Amino acid sequence: MITSLRFAARAARKIRCTILASLAVASCCTKTLAAQGCASCYTTAAAGGSQTAHALRAGILVLLLPPVCLFAGLTYYLARWNKETKSVGDDVRTWKWKIDAVGSLADDGR
């Protein structure tokens, strides 16, 4: 029973990874990916000179930093939480196997 559950979990993980990889490749291959700027924004930024271009680059970096930090923190937290729940689940499965194999809890000498 445990082997079939592990096989099913492994198969589900492979399917999930395949779907995510396919979506990533498909999103990178779209024609509109390179066309993210409107004509009005482009002409205004080009007319501003080098100081405006520098300010826009700095602004983009400043606006990009909080979402990246939030995403990294959330990913770290979820990975740690997933690791903790897996270790607890292994203990439960081990005890269940011991109970099923013996028919009752093992006598600990009391």
The rounded percent of the chain whose pLDDT value lies above 90 is: 15
Instruction: Note the pLDDT tens digit of each residue in 18-51.
Output: 988 888 887 777 666 555 567 777 787 778 888 8
Residue 50's pLDDT is: 85
Average pLDDT, the chain: 75
CA distance 85 to 34: 42
Confidence of residue 76 (pLDDT cuts 50, 70, 90): very high
Q: Indicate if the pLDDT at residue 110 is higher than 50.
A: no
CA distance 1 to 16: 23
The residues, any chain, with a CB within 8 Å of residue 36's CB and separated by 6 or more, are: none
